[in-house]
Structure 1
Amino acid sequence: MTVSAEPFSPALRRSVGVVMIGATLSFLDSTVVNVAVHTLSADLHAGLGTVQWVVTAYLLALAAVIPVTGWAARRFGAARLYVVALAVFTVGSALCACSPSVGTLIASRVLQGVGGGAIMPVGAMIWTAQASKAQMGRVMALIAVPVVLAPTLGPAVGGLLVQGIGWQAIFWLNVPFGVVGTALAVRLLPRGPAGDAEPLDVTGLVLASAGIVGITYGLAELGAAAGPDTAAAVALSAGSAALAGFVVHALRAKQPLLDLRLYGNRAFTAASVATFALGAANFGGMILMPLYFQTVRGENVVIAGLLIAPTGIGALLAAPFTDRYGAGATAFTGAAVLAVATVPFAFLTATTSYTLLCLVMVVRGIGFGLSIIPATTAAYRALPPDKIPDATPQLNVLQRVGGAIGTAVLTVVLDGRLGHRPSRAGQAGAFGTTFLWVLAITVAAAVPAVVLARAELHARRRTAVSRLAEATGTER
């Protein structure tokens, strides 16, 4: 089924352009600091365990702020909240660059994460309010550019800046773009209504934030420890308990922070599960190839970062095709392509051709682009416009937590295999075995895509029957 190419309005084009600036900065900073950990440890005279909080603090701040973005957008207006979020992110970036100690840097990263966590959910609310359901897929394809490319290119950009200038440069990079993006947002984004919001669900906010932060921290600790860890176990248990409490509270409250009743919609539920699983498969798998290039092939961080760029290129090649057919069928096709393209990585050796790896990564990127973008589009299309502010934070949380779970699990699996294989050939085999886990996660992601495709097929049949009945009644 081909979707009508309804043209974008000038206001929608401006909104997409402005949101892409902030989204790129937010997603770039999720990975750009990773390559600077050792440099930060030396320059700031702190242990790696302490410096690791520079990465973790940003992720925790992102996780904590996302649940409240829907309510805040209704209370203050999405455009106003976006301007504030991008400004806070920019100020936080400048403070990071000027930090004289690791403690100041960690605090500045928290501020940066508070702004960065609100940018993408609020930006999505802005453009979904302006786009029709027929336009949603093409808008999602444009927004997917920073979502896919920024984390992929982050390690390479970070490596170049750290080696050429210094660690401060990875934060100064955000400042001019943040200032320009904020100015454009003030001038170009439409000012929607503000103040039309229910009282803040404080109990829900505390439970949701504690749950998401606990799980995010626990997964980060689990991945860093590469195995069982007491702090990770406590955090995961506390986070799971808080989330369970939030679910019970949200289903009973008259005006919950997040409307979990949205999952009563079968299409939205299937799309959400697919988004979660695909986030785990892609972003979890994304951490393996840079490690392979550095550990097995001996490449430096810049070359390793550049060698994974073909994944982003593949996703861009897929972008024009993400909205030409039904979202469910396209998501399933993408998951199938992603699974097939993952198979060659299960046979990695210490001498596998770089050309072959880059070509397969392009195909894998195409699979990711054809799966994650339509799945998210289908989630939005399944809901009425007034439910978008509730759905957007939930989809962002699912994608980010899915990526965190995938990263933690695969890191633990890889470390367990590497510990028993000191030779380069053995290490390559360890990566190959770990990619079998990636393959299993990818296959699992195809299941909700099938459910989504079936739900869409039934919906189209019901629409056709309804139209036929109306036409028949008119003739009579």
Structure 2
Amino acid sequence: MTDRAVTDRPATERAAGREALGGPVVRAALLLAAGAFVALLDTTVVGVALESFARRFDAGLAQVQWVATAYLLAMSAVIPATGWAARRFGAVACWTASLAVFLLGSVLCGLAWSLGSLVAFRAVQGLGAGMLFPLMRILVVQVAGPARMGRTMALIAVPVLVAPVAGPVVGGALVQGHSWRWVFLLNVPVCLAVAVLSPLLMRNRRDDAPGRLDLAGLVTVSGGLTAAVLGFVRLGGGRPVGDLRVLGPLLAAAVLLTAHGLLSRRRRERALLDFGLFRDRAFAASSAVSLLNSFGLYGAVVLVPLFFQQAGGRGPLTAGLVMVAQGAGAGAAVLLVGRVIDARSNPRALVLAGLALVAAGLAVFARADAAEPGGLLLAALFAQGVGLALAASPVMVTLYHSLPPAAAPAATTLNAVAQQLGAAAGTAVVALVLQHASPGGAGTVAAFRPAFAVALGFVLLTAVPAAFLPARRKS
């Protein structure tokens, strides 16, 4: 342990105040942001390279789609175990191990010799990436303390908001200017640096009594979450709702998740997911906002680039560059938002204002007459970026408002499971609406209007639980 390590926060930090972040907290936040950025980038950057994979391996688009699907399924499989693993081995140890697995997967993907090997190595990548996002939030709770959590959450929110925007740009540039292999090899230096520095700059904290792993709970919830994501991916890929390849996984997910709920009621203390957390108002309201916001956010992330490509005839790189306007809005607002969160006790106004801006931006797209990246659409994207920044960080901070620090791993894991379900379902629903839009099919501006309207509806619905977000209790 070095003298730069993040130390346990003193008792005085429990008092609400405006404490400086300090070098150790900033360094830890930057490490967490960098690690999460490359993992989240890989969820979007690969979409641009699918055609290159198809040409290289002489495969159809349906086969190549498994390069993206394998990553999502592997992520879903490991997310539910995050809380227990963080308590048993320590969040820093799990973070470093996850980075190492992700790094290994990236190297292997860059060396892939066939489509089958690429799909398998993407699954390895996903196994590493799945725990990174919830672990990032668990570590923020540990290193920042309540008085600095808003600003620290804002720092780590940057990759979450920017990576979906940067993915198409980075992917398009690499595929057009270099080889598709660099889509994966680009991760290597960043992951290596973060994996080496993380144990030096953050203290590993283990629970003295983590309990035994609930294997039955892990099988049911991981299997259920993975099956649900597979069903939604297939639904979003164009298969009809009644197709057995859609219904089968979704029905299996319903059975497995119901079984997990019944097991959790019987096991209580040993349960992998602690549903008792929903008795806490702050956690329940924040989780509902996160779930519904994932529907609208990920649906819009898919829709906007497609809008400019299919309805506007733009290339992937150009469509990605247009999304920079949203990233600029998020970047401009997110750090200021962190200061406001720490200074004010009530997040409700910030979140509602953010949702209003996102809704306004989506409303512009829902009423657009042309897919030209002109001033109005760019302004709408910028407003969406600002709105996402206003809404995201306060919700994440509120999640932990009235929970003891020891509950952070369980709370984060349960919330991450809900977000993964919301993201998969939201993407599938807007894609399904787009496929069935009329008149004119998916290549027209008119076809995109109902899909944007659905995403807008999810955002407006999110305002209902957001109105119940409680103020932070100060002691």
User: TM-score, length-normalised on structure 1?
Assistant: 0.92
Query: How do residues 260-275 of structure 1 correspond to structure 2 at under 5 angstroms?
Result: 260-275=275-290
Partner of 1:316 in structure 2? 331
Find the partner of 2:39 among 20, 26, 29. 26
AA aligned to 2:23 is: P
Alpha-carbon deviations, 1:130-159, whole Å to 9, x = none? 222121111111111001101111011111
SS of corresponding position for 2:146: coil
Partner of 2:121 in structure 1? 108
Q: Is the 8 A contact 1:414 1:431 kept in 2?
A: yes
SS of corresponding position for 1:287: helix
Sequence identity of aligned pairs in percent?
A: 37
Find the partner of 1:245 among 229, 243, 259. 259
SS of corresponding position for 2:203: coil
Cα distance, 1:132–1:414 mapped onto 2, change above 3 Å: same
Q: Is the 8 A contact 1:136 1:381 kept in 2?
A: no
| Structure 1 CA distance for aligned equivalents of residues 188 and 442 of structure 2 | 44
Name stretches of at least 5 consecutive residues in structure 1 with no aligned partner. 468-476
1:379 matches 2:399: yes
Alpha-carbon deviations, 1:269-328, whole Å to 9, x = none? 011000111111111111111111111111110000111121122112221124143212
AA aligned to 2:406 is: D
SS of corresponding position for 2:312: coil
Partner of 1:430 in structure 2? 447
Q: Is the 8 A contact 2:165 2:327 kept in 1?
A: yes
SS of corresponding position for 1:417: coil
Partner of 1:337 in structure 2? 357
Equivalenced residues, count: 453
Q: Is the 8 A contact 1:14 1:189 kept in 2?
A: no
Query: Pairwise CA RMSD of aligned residues?
Result: 1.7
Q: Is the 8 A contact 2:337 2:389 kept in 1?
A: no
Alpha-carbon deviations, 1:44-103, whole Å to 9, x = none? 122221111110000011111011011111111111111111011001000001010111
Find the partner of 1:293 among 287, 292, 308. 308
AA aligned to 2:440 is: R
Query: How do residues 388-427 of structure 1 correspond to structure 2 at under 5 angstroms?
Result: 388-417=408-437, 420-421=439-440, 427=444
Q: Is the 8 A contact 1:76 1:195 kept in 2?
A: no
Q: Is the 8 A contact 2:435 2:442 kept in 1?
A: no
| Structure 1 CA distance for aligned equivalents of residues 412 and 278 of structure 2 | 13
Partner of 1:86 in structure 2? 99
Q: What is the deviation of 1:423? A: 9.6
User: TM-score, length-normalised on structure 2?
Assistant: 0.92
- The range that moved more, 164-173 or 41-50, is 41-50
Q: What is the deviation of 1:195? A: 5.8
Find the partner of 2:196 among 172, 183, 189. 183
Q: Which runs of 4+ in 1 moved over 6 A?
A: none
AA aligned to 2:467 is: V
Name stretches of at least 5 consecutive residues in structure 2 with no aligned partner. 1-15
Q: Is the 8 A contact 1:348 1:431 kept in 2?
A: no
| Structure 1 CA distance for aligned equivalents of residues 139 and 216 of structure 2 | 27
SS of corresponding position for 1:134: helix
| Structure 2 CA distance for aligned equivalents of residues 67 and 423 of structure 1 | 36
Q: Is the 8 A contact 1:330 1:370 kept in 2?
A: yes
Q: Is the 8 A contact 1:83 1:186 kept in 2?
A: yes
AA aligned to 2:431 is: T
Q: Is the 8 A contact 1:66 1:118 kept in 2?
A: yes
| Structure 1 CA distance for aligned equivalents of residues 431 and 286 of structure 2 | 26
Q: Is the 8 A contact 2:274 2:414 kept in 1?
A: no
Q: What is the deviation of 1:227? A: 3.3
| Structure 2 CA distance for aligned equivalents of residues 143 and 105 of structure 1 | 30
